[in-house]
Amino acid sequence: MARLVMKFGGTSVADIERIRNVARHVKREVDAGHEVAVVVSAMSGTTNRLVEWCREASALHDAREYDTVVASGEQVTSGLLAIALQAIGVAARSWQGWQLPIVTSEAHASARILDVNGDELVKRFLERKEVAVISGFQGVHSDTGRITTLGRGGSDTSAVAIAAALKADRCDIYTDVDGVYTTDPRVVPRARRLDRIAFEEMLELASLGAKVLQVRSVELGMVRQVRIFVRSSFDPPESIDPHKGTLICAEEDIVEQEVVTGIAFSKDEAQISIRNVQDKPGVAANIFGPLADANINVDMIVQNVSADGATTDLTFTVPAADFERAKDTISNARAQIGYARLDGATDVTKVSVIGVGMRSHAGVAARAFRSLAERGINIRAITTSEIKFSLLIDAAYTELAVRTLHSLYGLDKS
C-alpha cells in the first residue's frame, strides 16, 4: 500500500466526460489499496475567463477580490470530481484551501504556501478509506482569513506541497502529454520521452519555458524531496502502463546519467547591442541599473572590443515583450552611458542545452560550436552555467540548430 497524490490539470478535467475519466484513474489506485489525495485544476479555459471578468469589471481591481473570483474555478472541479467518484462507489469529499487549511503568505495572486495541514485527511484515510479531492491553486492567509491564489499554473505547486505534507510516496502529475521530452517533439520528431530527469534539469527546462510544470512546483519537489511522476490522463484508466511517464527525482536516483538530457529553445528573446560605449568603470552599471529599475530582465550579456579598438560593444538579451521599452530606457540614459549607436533584433532564438553530466565532462559546449559552425549557423551570444549553456542564434536557423544538437548529443530516438 502506498500513499499517492494525483494531480489533474485543466485539459484532464475539461468537461464532465473527462472528469468521469479522472474518477476512473482514481478508482484504479483506490482499488489497488492506496491512500489517495487528488488535486484538481479548474476546467480548461475557466481561469482565463475568470481573469477576464475581473479586468472587465475594473481594470484596476482589488487583488483580494481577484483571488476570490479566480479561486472559484477549482472549487467547481473538486465538487464535480467528488460527485463522479461517489457515483462509481468511491468514498470521496472535496476540500477547499481554507478548509484544510493550506496556509499561504498574503501576496495575493502570487501567494507562497507556508503550511499544509493534512491531519484530517490522514485520519479519514484510516477511518473511512475516503479519497480527498482538493482544490489546487488556492489557499488562505492566516491573519486576514482571505482566500489567496498561487499564480498561474499554481495547482502543480499545491500538489507537491500536499504530497510533502502527507509524506506521500509519490506525486503523480496527470496532464495531456505522457511525460517530459528531450526537446519539443513538434520541432524534432525524433525527440524521446525521458524515463527520468533530475530536479535541477527540470528546473532549468521549466524556467526556459517548458510548460509541463510550474517552476515553483519543481523547486518545492527538490527541497522537500518529493518524487514527481509526469504521465498522461489520456491513457486508458484501467490499463495504463505504470512505467509510461517521466520521473523527476534526485540526481543520485538516475543510474545511467547522460551528459546532455534535453534541449530547450525560446523565440521570445530580443537582442540589443550598444556600439562604441566608453570603456571605463561604471558603464555597465549605467546601462543595467536603469533596465533593472524598469523591471526588465536581462539574460545573456556579451562585451567585446569595438571595431575602433578604443571603445567597447555591449550586447545583451531581454524578453521580446520588453524590447521597445528596453531600447527607450537605454536611449533615455544615453547621456550617462555615452555610446555611438543602438542596434536591436527580435528575429533571434535562444537555444539551451541542459544536463547535470556537464559538471563532470569537459568540452560539451565546444562540440556544439563546431557542429553549428559546420552548418553555417552564427552564434551571436553565449552564456554558460554549471549544468547548462545557451546560444543566441538567428531565428531562421532554430529548427536546424535544435535538430543538429539533438543528434550531436545522442538524444535521437532510434
Q: Which of 97, 118, 139, 154 binds ligand ASP (CB under 6 A)?
A: 154
Considering only residues 63 through 92, tell me which ones interact with ligand ASP, judged by CB under 6 A: 73
Look at residue 269 and give the partner it binds from Mg ion, ligand ASP, none, a contact being a CB closer than 5 to 8 Å depending on partner kind: none
Distance (Å, rounded) from C-alpha 350 to C-alpha 53?
A: 35
Distance in angstroms (rounded) separating the CA atoms of residues 337 and 330: 8
Question: Residues 4, 5, 8, 10: which binds ligand ASP (CB under 6 A)?
Answer: 10
Closest to Mg ion by CB, 9 vs 357, is 9
Q: Output the nine-digit C-alpha cell for 200.
A: 535541477
- What Cα–Cα distance (Å) separates residue 204 from each residue in 207, 322, 352? 5, 22, 9
Work out whether 155 is an interface residue with ligand ASP (CB under 6 A). Answer: yes
Tell me which of ligand ASP, Mg ion, none is bound by residue 152, counting a contact when its beta carbon lies within the kind-specific cut-off of 5 to 8 angstroms: ligand ASP
DSSP string across 217-231? HHHHHHHHT--EEEE
Shortest distance, position 72 Cβ to Mg ion, whole Å: 17
Residues 6+ apart with CB under 8 A from 99: none
Minimal distance in Å, beta carbon 398 to Mg ion? 25
Binding of ligand ASP by 137 (CB under 6 A): yes
What x-and-dash track marks residues 46-65 binding ligand ASP by CB under 6 A?
-x------------------
Of 122, 111, 110, 206, the closest CA to residue 168 belongs to 122
Query: What are the backbone dihedrals phi and psi of residue 135, each rounded to the nearest 5 degrees, phi first?
Result: -70, 125
* 9 near Mg ion (CB under 5 A): yes
In the complex, the smallest distance separating the C-beta of residue 146 from ligand ASP, rounded to whole angstroms, is 18
By the rule CB under 5 A, 73 interacts with Mg ion: no
Q: Of 42, 188, 300, 351, which lies in the binding site for ligand ASP, with binding defined by CB under 6 A?
A: 42
Element (H, E) at 293: helix 283-293
DSSP per-residue letters across 69-118: HHTHHHHHHHHHHHHHHHHTT--EEEE-TTTTTEEE-S-TTS--EEEE--
Tally of helices (H runs) and strands (E runs) in the chain:
13, 18
Pick 41 or 398: Cβ nearer ligand ASP = 41
The three cell numbers locating residue 196: 527520468
Which one of 7-15, 45-53, 240-248, 388-396 is the stretch in contact with Mg ion (CB under 5 A)? Answer: 7-15
153 binds Mg ion (CB under 5 A): yes
Closest CB to ligand ASP among 73 and 245? Answer: 73
Binding of residue 97 to Mg ion (CB under 5 A): no
State yes or no: residue 139 binds ligand ASP (CB under 6 A). Answer: no
Nearer to ligand ASP, 42 or 220 (CB): 42
Enumerate the β-bridge partners of residue 262.
354
Count other C-beta atoms under 10 Å from residue 359's C-beta: 12
Tell me the number of residues near ligand ASP by CB under 6 A. Answer: 13
Residue 107 or 395: which CB sits closer to ligand ASP? 107
Cβ contact 313:273 at 8 Å: yes
Summarize as ranges the residues that interact with Mg ion (CB under 5 A).
9, 153
Summarize as ranges the residues that interact with ligand ASP (CB under 6 A).
9-10, 41-42, 47, 73, 136-137, 152-156
